[in-house]
Amino acid sequence: KPKTKRSKRFLQGREPKLNENIKNAMLIKGGNANQTVTQALKDIYSLKKPNAVMYKKKNITRPFEDQTSLEFFSKKSDCSLFLFGSHNKKRPDNLVFGRMFDFHVLDMIELGIEKFVSLKDVKNSKFPEGTKPLLIFAGDAFETDNEHKKLKSLLIDFFRGPTVSCVRLAGLEHVLHITALDGKIYFRSYKALLKKSGCRTPRIELEDMGPSFDFTMRRTHLASDDLYKTAHRQPKALKPKKKKNVSHDVFGTKYGRLHMQKQDLARLQTRKMKGLKKRKGE
């Protein structure tokens, strides 16, 4: 229970709101996490900073069996996204992406790292923290396969960054490109260079940057359809208000509509003709 105004504001920040805060992510290491997995977690942490929490110690839990410890962590640190990394003989270099709704696991997707190029190995300059990346998904698997659809939604949630009203055009340099191809998922990160092209829109040249992963899809744990429905439900207050009695036609002219009572045409006031007015004598 809050005793100071500051703690009260802190708790209010964590309450459910109409317009939500940006989702925080927690990055957890499993019981036996090897070098690859740890490095992968660190790289994703640097992509997701400052909206991410990295747990330094290893936690011996299995997300697919027991979700209570994950839910406890998420409640404590107010994180609704999590990334759990582990390594064993059966599932080497394992990353579990997941998200929560109301501090209960909504869905989890397990991805195995086939190939991994870390941020360290790439020599270029790094992005400033907190840049909103351009997300691009390619491949028809993301449209046809249900699990890929959910993965796409999860990855958008994970990497999209804060919702802003305006964005600086010159600052759009971070590009995350995810392709579903040949049964695998290729995650690449590029730096976009805006070159002159003669007209207003610049020509793009890409430079290799950042971590790149080759994933294979392993197990998934998706929520039931009605839980998805509840989670996606938007409050009515956020829906844009429709303005009544105003319409636009094809040419862009704005039309309004007035509702009048029935007028008695006999008593309608038209032009006054002072000369025709009846005088007292007549």
Partner 1 sequence: MAACSIEDVLAKAEREEVEKLKSISVHKEQELEFDPGNLFAFDKNPPNIREFRKLNKDEFLRSLARDNTQLLINELWKLPTERVEEVIVAKLPEPTTRLPREKPVPKPRPSTKWEEFAKLKGIQKKKKTNLVWDDVHKEWKRRWGYKRANDDTKEWLIEVPETADPNEDQFSKRIKAKKERVAKNELNRLRNIARGQKIKVPGVGLAPTEQQSKTELGKAIHVAKHSTASVGKFQGNLPKEKTPKNMGKKRKFEPLIGDFSAEKQKQLDLLNIMDSKKPRIDITKAVNKQMREEDRQSGFQKRKSPGKKGRKGNFSGKGKAKGKGKKGGPGGGSGGGNSKGGPGGGKNRKPRMKQGKR
Quote the least distance from Cβ 61 to partner 1, whole Å. Answer: 22
Quote the least distance from Cβ 130 to partner 1, whole Å. Answer: 14
| Enclosing H/E stretch for 248 | strand 246-248
> Based on CB atoms, which residue is closest to partner 1, 97 or 142?
142
> Based on CB atoms, which residue is closest to partner 1, 19 or 245?
19
- Rounded Cα distance, 37 and 31, in Å: 12
| Enclosing H/E stretch for 71 | helix 68-77
Asked whether the beta carbons of 218 and 112 are under 8 A apart, the reply is: yes
Cα 139-143-149 angle, rounded to 5 deg: 105
Best CA proximity match to 52, nearest among 24, 82, 14, 20: 24
Q: Specify the pairing of strand 94-101 against strand 104-117.
A: antiparallel
> Based on CB atoms, which residue is closest to partner 1, 66 or 143?
143
> Based on CB atoms, which residue is closest to partner 1, 3 or 280?
3
Chain-centroid distance, C-alpha 199: 32
Angstrom distances, CA of residue 103 to CA of 62, 138, 170, 180: 17, 31, 38, 30
Q: What three-state secondary structure class fits 251?
A: coil
Quote the least distance from Cβ 166 to partner 1, whole Å. Answer: 4
> Based on CB atoms, which residue is closest to partner 1, 87 or 215?
215
> Based on CB atoms, which residue is closest to partner 1, 84 or 186?
186
- Rounded Cα distance, 126 and 257, in Å: 57
Best CA proximity match to 87, nearest among 47, 142, 30, 46: 30
Binding site for partner 1 (CB under 8 A): 1, 15-18, 20-21, 23, 80, 99-102, 106, 132-140, 142-143, 152-153, 156-157, 160, 163-170, 172, 175, 177, 179, 181-182, 186, 188, 190, 192, 194, 197-206, 208, 212, 228, 230-235
> Based on CB atoms, which residue is closest to partner 1, 29 or 148?
148
Structure tokens at 102: 């109301």
Quote the least distance from Cβ 98 to partner 1, whole Å. Answer: 12
Structure tokens at 8: 């009260």
